[in-house]
Amino acid sequence: MSVFIIAEAGVNHNGSIDLAKKLIDAACNAGADAVKFQSFKAENLATKNSQKAMYQKKSTNIEESQFDMLKKLELNVEMHKELFLYCKNKRIIFLSSPFDHESIDLLDDLGLDIFKIPSGELTNLPYLRHIGKLNKKIILSTGMSNIDEIKNALNILINSGTKKENITVLHANTQYPTPIEDVNLRAMVTIGNELDVNFGYSDHTLGVEVDIAAVAIGASCIEKHFTLDRNMEGPDHKASLEPQELKAMVTAIKNIELALGSGIKIPSKSEIQNIKIVRKSIVAKTQIKKNEVLNENNLTVKRPGNGISPMKWDEIIGTKATKDYKEDELI
């Protein structure tokens, strides 16, 4: 099964439908499977005096509250419908992370087959039950959590009506950008092994090497933030890939998928032709007369490999030559 690649537009549209469509175009051009936004109403998400995260303060107006910042980044119902149809026409999957019950219903009404649960909702019991009852495919991010919290969230989703095989759990870190030493990529594999669940990685590091490494060790889903321009104003632009970087990441992931192969150790199609050229055969070290005993003094091993394999050396030593051999002639 191919790695499912989500190009995370998030709120990098800055509240503009035109920017949102350009982000969709960039995700299509990069070869991503899906493009993901965020669905919320500021009134349902944060109190009016909620503080911003430190990374948000660094990339937006420091005097502005989290509520005011979020209010400018909302996508209304009509914008959701327009972007959903735009993605359909572009043949890329439209995804969005709902941050409140009203947004869950909106996305369900749109007909989304996959629900992406953000890390901050992992411990939100009513929210998890709401999505679990929809019996959709679910991608669950797990930033800021421990293994027991993930188990609890999984059980809630399953007990609410979602099949376990329809859930993919993403290892994640919610710091933007994530310091490399905090990635703890092996925890992704731990999640898969301990919970017996499909697993992947939601990445907020700079660059693409961690995403590629995640695929190499078994990730079935990769989510990565991207933007049209890292210099744009907004909370997430600085920790996002630009379009050409996103495309390079997708290409690298697809190459790694091919490179992983079947796991069966056999000669590849491309190298079979090299066997006769690179391997060696038993040959005459000197001139050998018919009936002369073959030994270490008159035999050696050289290329090409289309004669008797040196692995049969012990079988040949001590036998008699069946004909005359010239030096370097295959035995």
Domain parsing of the chain, residue ranges:
4-260, 267-331
Average pLDDT over residues 106-115: 98
CA distance 103 to 123: 18
pLDDT band with cut points at 50, 70 and 90 for residue 68: confident
pLDDT band with cut points at 50, 70 and 90 for residue 55: low
CA angle, 200 then 253 then 35, to 5°? 65
Q: What is the pLDDT of residue 57?
A: 64
Average pLDDT over residues 279-292: 98
pLDDT band with cut points at 50, 70 and 90 for residue 59: low
Q: What is the pLDDT of residue 47?
A: 82
CA distance 12 to 19: 8
Question: Does residue 185 register a pLDDT over 70?
Answer: yes
Could you say which of 1.10.10.10, 3.40.50.300, 3.90.1210.10, 3.50.50.60 is the CATH number of the domain covering 267-331? 3.90.1210.10
HSE at residue 220, side-chain half, CA atoms within 13 A, is 14
Q: What is the pLDDT of residue 140?
A: 98
Q: What is the DSSP code string of 183-235?
A: --THHHHHHHHHHT-EEEEEE-SSSSHHHHHHHHTT-SEEEEEB-S-TTSSSS
Q: What is the pLDDT of residue 51?
A: 73
Q: What is the pLDDT of residue 45?
A: 85
Give the N- to C-terminal CA distance of the chain in Å, as an integer.
Answer: 48
Distances (CA, A) of 290 to 320, 322, 324, 326: 7, 5, 5, 11
DSSP state of 179: P
- Position of tokens 């990445």? 203
Q: Taking Cα atoms as reference points, which of 236, 255, 162 lies closest to residue 14?
A: 236
Task: Return the number of other C-beta atoms located less than 10 Å from residue 218's C-beta.
Answer: 16
Give the global pTM.
0.89
Distance of CA 234 to the CA centre of its chain: 25
Average pLDDT over residues 203-218: 97
- Greater confidence, 32 or 45? 32
Q: Crossing angle for the helix pair 147-160 and 186-195, nearest 10 degrees?
A: 40
4-260 and 267-331, same CATH topology? no
Q: What percent of the chain has pLDDT over 70?
A: 96
CA angle, 217 then 221 then 222, to 5°? 90
Could you please state the CATH topology (level 3) that the domain comprising 4-260 is classified under: TIM Barrel (3.20.20)
CA distance 275 to 279: 6
Question: Does residue 240 register a pLDDT over 80?
Answer: yes
What's the token pair of residue 10?
């998030």
Distance of CA 16 to the CA centre of its chain: 28
* Cβ–Cβ < 8 Å for 254, 32: no
Look over the chain and give the mean of its residue pLDDT values, rounded to a whole number.
95
Q: Average the pLDDT over each of 1-5, 292-296, 319-323 and give the range with the smallest value.
A: 1-5
